[in-house]
Structure 1
């Protein structure tokens, strides 16, 4: 995938994670959360043996969103302390 696809996936995944977790961030924060979520989600998918279709846009968004939700949850835990 090209850089434009990664940006789109990052923004969509970050936005979905923001809505799922009930948070409110800006576009840049959604992009960062989405891209970091894609890294976390991709690592977890590979670690657990989840069959990943590499060139699937929808699968990429789902995995990135799951990773972004995990990231927001962990950040929320750290902020509470």
Structure 2
């Protein structure tokens, strides 16, 4: 993977993570860096699932985008369930 590909993966991951966050209702309890990481993993996972199912034909694909966002939604829900809640209290 080239530097350009890595930068594109991070940008796409950020967009996918934010889209997944918008679908999940409620207050955001996870930091932005974790949201980007969730998006990057969801982007790679969605692409892999599309190719495993034989739906990928190269280039932009509606199935790929749908799988990526759905995986991001599931991942955001999981991370929010296990990430410590902010209470506003400082120790």
**Residue segments in structure 2 that go unaligned for 5+ positions in a row:** 83-91
TM-score in terms of structure 2 length: 0.61
Which residue number corresponds to residue 13 of structure 1?
16
- 3-state DSSP of counterpart to 2:72: helix
Which structure would you say has the larger Rg? 2
Find the aligned partners of 2:14 and 2:62 in 1 and give their Cα distance.
13
Which residue number corresponds to residue 44 of structure 1?
49
Q: Could you tell which deviates more after superposition, 26-35 or 61-70?
A: 61-70
Greater helix share, structure number: 1
Preserved CA contact (<8 Å) 2:20 2:73: yes
Aligned residues: 77
Which residue number corresponds to residue 32 of structure 1?
37
RMSD: 2.9
- Say if 1:57 and 1:66 are closer, same or farther in 2 by CA, change over 3 A: same
**Residue segments in structure 1 that go unaligned for 5+ positions in a row:** none
Preserved CA contact (<8 Å) 1:13 1:64: yes
- Say if 1:57 and 1:6 are closer, same or farther in 2 by CA, change over 3 A: farther
TM-score in terms of structure 1 length: 0.66
